[in-house]
Amino acid sequence: MENKKRILSGIQPTGTFTLGNYIGAVRNWTKLQEEYDCIYMIANMHAITVRQDPAALRKNTSNAYALLLACGIDPEKSIAFIQSHNRCHAELNWVLACSTQFGELSRMTQFKAKSEKHPDDINAGLFTYPVLMAGDILLYQSDLVPVGADQKQHLELTRDIAQRFNQKYGELFTIPEPYIGETGARVMSLQDPLSKMSKSDDNPNACIFILEDKDTIIRKFRRAVTDSDTCVRFAEGKDGINNLMTIYSAITGKTMDEIEREFDGKGYGDFKTAVGETVADHLAPVRDRFAEFSADKAYLEKCWTEGAQKAESIARRTLSKAYRKVGLA
Ligand code: TYM
């Protein structure tokens, strides 16, 4: 246990996970827990950077935790906890904020995108959010951070903050590496294959939520935007088909060549239905397990309470060292 590499990652509890979250991140997390010392977190403190209804946030946080277990995160193998249950995150955030430059936060593309989407609530938390995320990672001396491609810039900032702190105050933080899967690191919208699949998309057909029923999933895939070609092949300019092939490949493990051969002589309609069915069948057990876990509140509470205790005992050591280095303790 001691010399295994440490992994940390997190996901926001805003509604149920999308197929992008699943393929780009959570699916990899379950595989990694066999080989690494893994810590997974529901990032509820990040969620309040946009306005949330308190009761809905509480419910979504609990459901997101149940969904994590339903996807295969095993609380016996990994530490699974809820961010706000461990106060160390808020405390390290302040220390790191004082080692982060206004200029570097201004360059974060996610901040720019989110402030355009919510022009009436460009709060300071939205701006400093990448510092909170850096703290999430650095508190656990994480070696690897499995994320989708959209989080790469935040990871680079985390490395810069850690290096700067280590230089200024003396070695403390492990410098983390991003771990970005080869297939599916960027699952695209089914309606606009040039933008990423996102739960906040206004068009409900653009995004698959992993708890949706089979018919809905198939219907959304059948409506996916493609091109005027008829042949299933992975090529430049065929963004819609490329995205569907990537999804199919991520779920089945088949290569692009194998997929092209499988659908040789078949049209887009057959292909879209096959992708929809494959995804829906793959997700069916997740849906069943979610129904079980979410109904067992006592079990969930037991798991997240133990998870937070284990997480805090690791994080507290790093936080105390950071306080001493800076002169706060
Ligand atoms: P969040 O909640 O937006 O997304 C969770 C994970 O899903 C990945 N993802 C995707 N991957 C492929 N294609 C997509 N369309 C897609 N959409 C989302 C994200 O890259 C992410 O890995 N800031 C983070 C949460 C966080 C975190 C952390 C992550 C908080 N603290 C510490 C790692 C380490 C976020 O908002 O992810």
Residues 93 and 146 reside in one and the same domain: yes
Does 120 score more than 90 pLDDT? Answer: yes
Distance 11 CA to ligand 1 centre (A): 5
Residue 118: inside a domain: yes
Residue 144: inside a domain: yes
Distance 266 CA to ligand 1 centre (A): 35
Q: What is the pTM of this model?
A: 0.96
Residues 104 and 229 reside in one and the same domain: no
Residues 277 and 309 reside in one and the same domain: no
Structure tokens at 21: 């979250």
Distance 293 CA to ligand 1 centre (A): 23
Residue 205: inside a domain: no
Residues 60 and 129 reside in one and the same domain: yes
Distance 102 CA to ligand 1 centre (A): 23
By alpha-carbon position, which residue is closest to atom 28 of ligand 1? 10
Ligand 1, closest atom to CA 188? Answer: 15
Q: Which domain holds residue 287?
A: 214-291
Does 241 score more than 90 pLDDT? Answer: yes
The preferred substitution site among 11, 23, 192 for testing ligand 1, maximizing ligand atoms within 8 Å of CB, is 11
Residues 226 and 310 reside in one and the same domain: no
Residue 162: inside a domain: yes
How confident is residue 201, by pLDDT bands cut at 50, 70 and 90?
A: confident
Does 188 score more than 60 pLDDT? Answer: yes
Residue 197: inside a domain: no
**Ligand 1 — pocket residues by CB below 6 A?**
8-12, 20-21, 24-25, 43, 46, 133, 136-137, 145, 147-148, 150-151, 185-187, 196-197
By alpha-carbon position, which residue is closest to atom 5 of ligand 1? 11
pLDDT for res 2: 59
| Catalytic residue numbers, as ranges | 114, 196, 199
Residue 196: inside a domain: no
Number of domains in the chain: 2
Distance 307 CA to ligand 1 centre (A): 20
Residue type present at position 215: D
Does 4 score more than 80 pLDDT? Answer: yes
Task: Over range 283-303, report the average pLDDT.
Answer: 98
The residues that bridge with 291 in the sheet, in sequence order, are none
Residues 302 and 226 reside in one and the same domain: no
Does 39 score more than 90 pLDDT? Answer: yes
Q: What is the CATH number of the domain that holds 231?
A: 1.10.240.10
Residue 167: inside a domain: yes
Residues 228 and 130 reside in one and the same domain: no
The residues that bridge with 80 in the sheet, in sequence order, are 40
Residues 96 and 220 reside in one and the same domain: no
How confident is residue 244, by pLDDT bands cut at 50, 70 and 90?
A: very high
The preferred substitution site among 150, 154, 279 for testing ligand 1, maximizing ligand atoms within 8 Å of CB, is 150
Residues 147 and 287 reside in one and the same domain: no
Q: What is the CATH number of the domain that holds 42?
A: 3.40.50.620
Dist. CA 103–CA 94, nearest whole Å: 17
Residues 164 and 305 reside in one and the same domain: yes
- Could you tell me what percent of the chain has a pLDDT over 70? 99
Residues 49 and 68 reside in one and the same domain: yes
How confident is residue 118, by pLDDT bands cut at 50, 70 and 90?
A: confident
Dist. CA 173–CA 159, nearest whole Å: 9
Residues 163 and 178 reside in one and the same domain: yes
